Amino acid sequence: MFDNISKDDEAMTDSAFVEVESVHFSRGEMEIFRGVDLTIPRGRITAIMGPSGTGKTTLLKMIGGQLTPDAGHVRIDGQDVHALSRKALFVLRRRMGMLFQSGALFSDLDVYENVAFPLRVHTDLPEVMIRDVVLMKLQAVGLRGARELKPSELSGGMARRVALARAIALDPELILYDEPFAGQDPISMGVLIQLIKRLNEALGLTAVIVSHDIKETLSIADYVYVIADGQVMAHGTPASLDTDRDPRVSQFMHGEPDGPVPFHYPAMDFHADILGSGGPR
């Protein structure tokens, strides 16, 4: 009997939780996605990586339903995110958590109230239980002692941990991490890596990490998509990407400054520019 359950669990973990199908998106004249396809399996940590400005955060916002693609579909647990009504979208979002790069804590509430916010608006729990849940979540991120501080009194790393506690307050099924490691000192970085890994293991969360911190992301990701030039350039397990021979993938994975992705922004010939034939500026 128990064997059956574990097999079912296995099947559940391998099914797709988020599906992104041939998504196209432009901002003004600039084409950001030209047919992106991704599958994010349930219960795993999937990383979306790529150079800055390739639209990783845009993709995350599309999964969260904040941006609508020009063409293509995003499905979460079988529901087309962009076909939902505003109300249904907000209901779906209760099953997701998102960790913003800036933390995005509510500046008029203290740490405790920030974590309690989702519980207060979405549940009818009595105050005693809200307190217990908030303290448990704060304990998980190591900031139970900071519950009375205001967001302005927190360091960047602490703010992100509080934001993480808030994102998991309602025990979501899917959590989206936007650049969780950017601008963190080595200790905060280590803490965050451990937290993300532990949350995934302990709660079986489906996690999507958008990042360009290769070493840290690869250390916890189960599967990686590399996005560049508006398309998925490569995908695979961290080990397979590490040995990928594609020069573009290799340049990104090994952090080489110049290669197929040029160091210079497109510009006219340097000599001609310096000698002044390029106009006043």
Partner 1 sequence: MIERIRHLGQQGCALLEALGRAGIFLGQSALGVPSREGFHLWLRQMHFVGVMSLAIVLVSGLFIGMVLALQGYTILVDFGAEQALGQMVALSLLRELGPVVSALLFAGRAGSALTAEIGLMKATEQLTSMEMIGVDPLRRVVAPRLWAGFVALPLLTIGFSVVGVWGGQLVGVEWLGVFEGSYWSNMQSSVAFVADVGNGLIKSLVFALVVTWIAVFQGYDLIPTSEGISRATTRTVVYSSLAVLGLDFVLTALMFGELS
Binding site for partner 1 (CB under 8 A): 64, 66, 86, 90-94, 96-98, 100-102, 104-107, 117-118, 121-122, 163, 166, 176
Region of residue 159 (left: phi > 0; alpha: psi -120 to 50; beta: else): alpha
**Of the candidates 20, 9, 63, 45, the residue with the CA atom closest to the CA atom of residue 237:** 45
Bridging pattern class, strands 45-49 and 223-228: parallel
Q: How far apart are CA 256 and CA 178, in angstroms?
A: 24
Q: Minimum distance between the CB of residue 114 and partner 1, rounded to whole angstroms?
A: 10
Smaller CB distance to partner 1: residue 50 or 97? 97
Q: How far apart are CA 157 and CA 169, in angstroms?
A: 18
Q: Minimum distance between the CB of residue 189 and partner 1, rounded to whole angstroms?
A: 21
Q: Minimum distance between the CB of residue 93 and partner 1, rounded to whole angstroms?
A: 4
Smaller CB distance to partner 1: residue 40 or 98? 98
Q: Minimum distance between the CB of residue 121 and partner 1, rounded to whole angstroms?
A: 5
Cα separations in angstroms, 25 against 28, 37, 76 = 10, 13, 19
Smaller CB distance to partner 1: residue 25 or 100? 100
Smaller CB distance to partner 1: residue 166 or 235? 166
Number of H helices, E strands in the chain: 11, 10
Q: Minimum distance between the CB of residue 1 and partner 1, rounded to whole angstroms?
A: 37
Smaller CB distance to partner 1: residue 95 or 248? 95
Report whether 162 contacts 115 (CB < 8 A): yes
Q: Minimum distance between the CB of residue 104 and partner 1, rounded to whole angstroms?
A: 4
Q: How far apart are CA 94 and CA 78, in angstroms?
A: 16
The residues, any chain, with a CB within 8 Å of residue 32's CB and separated by 6 or more, are 25, 26, 54, 55, 58, 230
Smaller CB distance to partner 1: residue 105 or 199? 105
Q: Minimum distance between the CB of residue 89 and partner 1, rounded to whole angstroms?
A: 9
**Of the candidates 25, 106, 36, the residue with the CA atom closest to the CA atom of residue 66:** 25
Q: How far apart are CA 278 and CA 59, in angstroms?
A: 37
Smaller CB distance to partner 1: residue 75 or 166? 166
Q: Minimum distance between the CB of residue 151 and partner 1, rounded to whole angstroms?
A: 9
| Collapsed DSSP state (helix, strand, coil) of residue 135 | helix
Smaller CB distance to partner 1: residue 57 or 233? 57
